[in-house]
Structure 1
């Protein structure tokens, strides 16, 4: 046995006895903390994080032992966080989203023709299933870090996919440019790591252009906007808000990936399977992701921004219909 692991077990044995914590759980914690390179400020914080980890480990075992569950959960980079901390550090600030969702309806659409014409829905035969990853239209899964900047990742991903469909070139765009520049000083209501709106990234990029990730790397915090001029790369010309029905979302996904707002409060430990664990009676919006398709059973396929080691290699499958509020706020680039 590794000497460091053995020493940790010996030092924590009194605490383990008091908390009914097994050597098996300690070994699981040491393996996990080594894998995720956890370093804490002091022993008090370390002990607290261990207790949180043990509690989350127990939840994983209990959930996965129930054969009626359609999805599994597991340990990941968030396993030493409470759900409240996860919401505070990773998700968008609820008051920001709640305050602005009602006031942005007039800014959500930027097109000169009817939505139905844009999607060509009358003439389009829906595919039984569609997955834009198989067509090379989706960039690699990114990691937003401890910053509620999911909206910038959803906006960048939306433009990346449309750029590929239109120009046959897959380029990683700069989320940091969006975090730094889609701000109140430039006339927007997005607030960096507190949260924001992908349709505002489209408005910004249509005027200024969005540069590449290589040119403007992501740093997990909001900084001063380091972009001048009005010809900085890809510029979307038209975009729409897609009507809030399953059929309309499927029509849209037959045209291109779309960005969607969701309630991701219970996503923290998702590992695989068809997720149906949201409270449909109380849908709040605190996260934005890219929908890249649906399968033959109508499950939605979404690309997240929590890294490739979360979920199904950074992706998630949501149960059909309005699971997690996926149908309420859908945005699509159309030109």
Structure 2
């Protein structure tokens, strides 16, 4: 049995015995495990997962009973994971994030005169009080990355899908699997499959090779051999810019199109609805890529995630205004 699970069972056992494991809790667990089709290796792992579930359920109940909280939490597909497991299994690997952030200032943005013109024009743009690209038909359906840390491909694909709609008035799902398979470090890109990667690397790849549609290259949730041959695979972004790190700049960009953004998602696993402000702002790690599709009148960011429609507000979330969870740190937008 996994040593981590065994150690965790030993550590959690006193907590389990100390809790009053009621029939109500057991019924809640059985209903949840049936709904999410949980099958475990053995009884030891099942016991461990039950203990983790009960602990998470207690935290959810305590959080939701506090009227001062601006968001609610719920049981979902992550409810039998510890926080540490969630970060390790679902988000981008911490060593990759740390390595990337050290070299972030050395990264060069793909730019040309069109990019510079767009940046200059954005500063004089009259901002809408609120904007939501879903209402304009510019956002495809919510997807589910599964247990692969491929969020960066979903963020990039979503960005290209929306720009393609705005430019060509056609809403098409692009292939995240093509990006997962082909945008890899052995092929010259700073990305590492299910361990993590960066949306701008996908734009670099697609600008040369093109990105095909989801139906032609379906998502399977593990890295496979790259099947993106040739240089005429479909949509090709021509230019893109990195958004400056201010709320007004991100709002300006969102008046033009959705934006690929990086956030710290370490505490997002149990989010259900409302305005999320639950990140540790003193210790931000940009470990998850998502798509910003707008903002509301209070300046809260509207985010499309890739954890399925059962998570959050039908797969979306509202993130508190300003730099909550590091959202202003490293963002990209296609300009042509």
Relative to the length of structure 2, the TM-score reads: 0.93
Q: CA–CA distance in 1 between the matches of 2:153 and 2:127? A: 29
Q: How many pairs are equivalent? A: 321
Gaps of 5+ in 1: 1-14
Q: CA–CA distance in 1 between the matches of 2:108 and 2:319? A: 24
Show CA shifts across 1:247-301 (max 9, x none).
0000000000001111000001000000001111111111010000000000000
Moved more, 34-43 or 105-114: 105-114
- Tell me what 1:47 maps to: 47
Q: CA–CA distance in 2 between the matches of 1:242 and 1:17? A: 51
- Tell me what 1:154 maps to: 155
- Tell me what 2:200 maps to: 199
Alignment of structure 1 residues 145-294 onto 2, 5 Å: 145-294=146-295
CA contact (8 A) 2:131 2:295 kept: yes
Q: CA–CA distance in 1 between the matches of 2:24 and 2:148? A: 33
CA contact (8 A) 2:114 2:335 kept: no
Root mean square deviation of aligned Cα: 1.5
Show CA shifts across 1:70-102 (max 9, x none).
000000010011111111110000111110233
- Tell me what 1:90 maps to: 90
CA contact (8 A) 1:116 1:122 kept: no
Shift of 1:185: 2.1
Q: Secondary structure at the match of 2:317?
A: strand
Show CA shifts across 1:29-52 (max 9, x none).
111111111111111111111111
CA contact (8 A) 2:211 2:234 kept: yes
Shift of 1:189: 1.4
- Tell me what 1:71 maps to: 71
Q: CA–CA distance in 1 between the matches of 2:228 and 2:166? A: 26
Q: CA–CA distance in 2 between the matches of 1:174 and 1:33? A: 31
Q: CA–CA distance in 1 between the matches of 2:79 and 2:123? A: 47
CA contact (8 A) 1:108 1:240 kept: no
Show CA shifts across 1:133-173 (max 9, x none).
00010010000010110001101111000000000001100
Q: Secondary structure at the match of 2:98?
A: helix
Q: CA–CA distance in 1 between the matches of 2:111 and 2:193? A: 26
Shift of 1:205: 0.1
CA contact (8 A) 2:71 2:272 kept: yes
- Tell me what 1:131 maps to: 132
Shift of 1:332: 0.4
- Tell me what 2:312 maps to: 311
Q: CA–CA distance in 1 between the matches of 2:131 and 2:316? A: 15
Q: CA–CA distance in 2 between the matches of 1:294 and 1:64? A: 25
- Tell me what 1:323 maps to: 324
CA contact (8 A) 1:177 1:210 kept: yes
Q: Indicate yes or no: 2:61 matched with 1:61.
A: yes
- Tell me what 2:24 maps to: 24
